Amino acid sequence: MAYQNPISKTASSSFIESVRKEEHKNCFCGRRARLCTLWTLKNPGRRFFSCATPKEINGCHFFQWFEEEFCGRSLDVITHLNHRRIYLEEKLKLVEENLAESIEKKIVLKAEKKALIEGRMKLDAEKKNLKKQLRLC
């Protein structure tokens, strides 16, 4: 069975071909432009082309939007999901920190348990010796 592109099931082939052509833009300096994604509050998830050469290294400052601006509802959804992602990442970080603390406490408690067991064994041995001495007396 041949591989089927999942996009082709929902979009026309002419649309896919036009997107593929658009993905290969050349900037002013003749190089292939990079396709980047913005994650600003105003344009979250919006893609654009820019010069592949960094501006600090004499890039041509090429900039062109890849797609039209998102509608207001899309911006709201993307922004909400981005805030949710940030919240969950912070929560995960706290859980990981708590887990690390718990692991450290577990290690300390294991060491204390081992010391207590060794101390009890010593006390049991001393008790046994004292019982022997008491019988001899």
* Mean pLDDT per 10-residue interval, the chain, length 137 residues: 40 42 74 86 85 75 84 85 93 97 96 96 94 85
Q: How many CA atoms lie within 13 A of 47 on its CB side?
A: 9
Distance CA 63, CA 56 (A): 15
Threshold 0.75, pTM exceeds: no
| pLDDT on residue 39 | 83
Beta bridge partners of 32: 26
3-state secondary structure of 27: coil
| pLDDT on residue 38 | 86
Residue 60's contacts (CB-CB under 8 Å, 6 or more residues apart) are 27, 28, 29, 51, 53
